[in-house]
Amino acid sequence: MSTIGSGETVHSRRQRLSGIPRACEACRVRKIRCDRTTPCSNCLTSGIICQGSSPPSDNRSKSNKVALLEERIEVLESRLRTVEKTLTDRSTPCASSTIEHERATTFPSGATNLYEGDSAFTNELLQVSQVAQKTAHGAPGLEASFGDIRALLESSSKLENHKFSRSPALRSAPSLIPLPFAVVAAILRRIKERTPIFCYGYFLTDISHIEQLCQKIYSFTDSVTLSHVTSVLGILYFILKELVATSDQLCEEHSLDIHLKNCEQSLKSNIETYELLAVPSFESILALAFGALKAQEDAEAFISCTLISGAVNQCLTLGYHREKTYGNWRDGNAENARRLFWSIYISDKTLSLLLGRSSYLQDLDIDALYPNISTNPLRRPWDENFVMAIRIARAQGQIYDRLYSPASLKAPIEQRTQSLNELVDIMSCWRNEQTKIDPSRAAYSEIWAISRHHWDVIYYSTLTTLLRASKTPRVGTELTAQCFYSARLNLESHMSCFATWDKCGTLSGKDYANWVLHYSSFTSFVVIFLHAISAARMEDVQLLDDVVETLNNVQHTSKLSERLYKICAILAGLSRALIGLGNATIGTYDSNEDTLHFSENASQSPAFLPETLQDSLSVDMTEFLDDWEANDLGVVLANWANGDSTTLDMHWDSRC
């Protein structure tokens, strides 16, 4: 430090001089020497007020700044303690959390089964099993098999299966993005270099919008909502899953498999919050859509249905179903919202037919235009597929409304016949247009080719459900040659589709089960089962066995897949055993027309008496069944034959 004169430092000199009074203001203005007393002699002589001039209070200014900084530090420490406490509470929930969890998993007495309507697999299979049980009159050994099916079906629709997986206490503090910014930035750079398959899908294809959503999370300048965070979690989860499945170079650079698990956990946590369902916004709908996709991936159909219903409600609240809403859009996000709405529409209509319920979105209230089809040859086939998905979803909704809803079942025969014929024409027109799509220049052409097999499954399963509907539900049911033909093609398309997926290195058996097998009606299996035992056709039995072998490859993927495999294996074995009876008949089969007719009182036929159900199945068909599955199964198939077109997709019930 510099010194002055005899060694006094500059700092010491400033401190010494700071104690000496300064000249008063009057003397300084008049520029005369002041004796620095108060009042000074000059001011006394002049008769004016002497006003001292004090030096600027540096110490006071510094003390104010220090106090302000200390106050800010205290606020930050308080917020940090709050965050730490929240994280601690989430990782180690207190005893009250356990109590809340126990209360949350307790269900009221009374009706504890979930409702499924007239087009779903469970109820149709229940009815058909009744028919088969009584058809097996006099045959020992089949009773246990029917009991197994009955138990499998009844266990699938319990109310406790229709709930989120975690305690409310654990859902109180939603997660933020668990990925470092560097990882997210690398992912964004990667998808801009090479557009992922995810961005050729339905509801989110705009990479610039994805980038905006992610950047806002990490900007630290604007507050973000839970719905915004959750929507970004959904985006990152499905992109990460694709990058891991394709062994992208980022996997090794950033350990993406670990980030994928963290992202999945945070997404599930945030989905189970009230705010997403209560506060309508584009981000909330997007988050709910991702939640529904995740539920489908986890084989939880009723959870998916709940989230879709919440998304539908917000779409209606925000007017996404009306075209004028998009004309008033100002932020350039209109097309993204349009695609999101129609994606929700597809899920709503598909679940309507699968679960036998009226859809939440009604066509009479919708005038929004279809999404735009890109002129880019890489993207155009994917956009055309999107529009075709909307159109077949609309047809699925009409099939339920016009043929399976309670009101339609009371309609005159002429009206039902007209509805059935019109819907068959709609499906035929759809098929012709869908097969005309040219995928030769499509991005990811190999994946698009696989989707062609997927469309075969969807088309034939929907067509079989349509043709299976009775024109005269109060008189009886008739299965036509056209229905049998469609059902046979549906089962064959399932096996072809699985073989194609199995050869593809990026798609797994679990993907096939959750995105194809469980997202299309399995009515066809029951139709061929009935045809096999009524026409004594061993070719049908072999087809059933082949399908069971295919299901065996995916039964380990979920409880849902395991249950479907068990039921189909039992039915395949029953068909072989019933044909072996020789004189077993179901309904009235016309071999010339290849039609099967069930009268209103089909279940009263002597061939349907329960005494026939005794030991006919071989041990290998039943050894995999648990003791609790040995209840009376027979109720399953009989009402189906009587024309009660009740729920065929029982495997959706089993979302355990």
| Tens of pLDDT, residues 2-26 | 454 455 666 666 666 666 777 888 8
Which pLDDT value is given to residue 435? 93
Instruction: Label residue 104 by pLDDT band (50, 70, 90).
Output: very low
CA contacts within 13 A on the Cβ side of 445: 8
Q: Mean pLDDT, to the nearest integer, of 502-509?
A: 78
The pLDDT, as a whole number, for residue 25 is 82
- Pick the residue with more confidence: 394 or 450? 394
The rounded mean pLDDT for the chain is 78
The confidence score (pLDDT) of residue 289 equals 96
Cβ count within 10 A of residue 335: 15
Helix, strand, or coil (residue 431): helix
**DSSP secondary structure letters along 269-334:** HHHTSHHHHHS--HHHHHHHHHHHHHHHHTT-HHHHHHHHHHHHHHHHHHTTTSHHHHHT--SS-H
CB 120 within 8 A of CB 646: yes
With b meaning 16 or more CB within 10 Å and e meaning fewer, what string describes 51-76?
Answer: eeeeeeeeeeeeeeeeeeeeeeeeee
Coil/strand/helix, residue 140? strand
The confidence band for 35, taking pLDDT boundaries of 50, 70 and 90, is confident
pLDDT in tens, 50-85: 877 555 444 455 556 777 777 777 777 777 777 666
CB atoms within 10 A of CB 576: 19
Name, in order, each residue with C-beta under 8 angstroms of 303's C-beta and a sequence gap of 6 or more: 162, 163, 164, 295, 655
The pLDDT of residue 506 is 72
At 166, list the tokens.
């975690």
Task: Return d(Cα 336, Cα 320) in angstroms, integer.
Answer: 11
pLDDT, position 581: 74
Question: What is the reported pLDDT for 152?
Answer: 63
- For 506-543, the pLDDT digits (tens) are 778 888 888 888 888 888 998 999 999 888 899 999 99
pTM value is 0.72
Name the strand (E) or helix (H) holding 589.
strand 588-590
Number of C-alpha atoms within 13 angstroms, CB side, residue 487? 24
Choose between 353 and 612: higher pLDDT: 353
Query: Residue 77: how many CA atoms within 13 Å on its side-chain side?
Result: 6
Q: Give the model confidence (pLDDT) of 191-229 as tens digits.
A: 999 999 999 988 889 999 999 999 888 876 567 889 999
Residue type at 536?
A
pLDDT in tens, 297-336: 988 888 899 999 999 999 999 999 999 999 888 777 899 9
> Could you tell me which residue, 370 or 636, shows the higher pLDDT?
370
Q: What is the DSSP letter of 553?
A: T
Q: Quick one: average pLDDT of 138-149?
A: 60
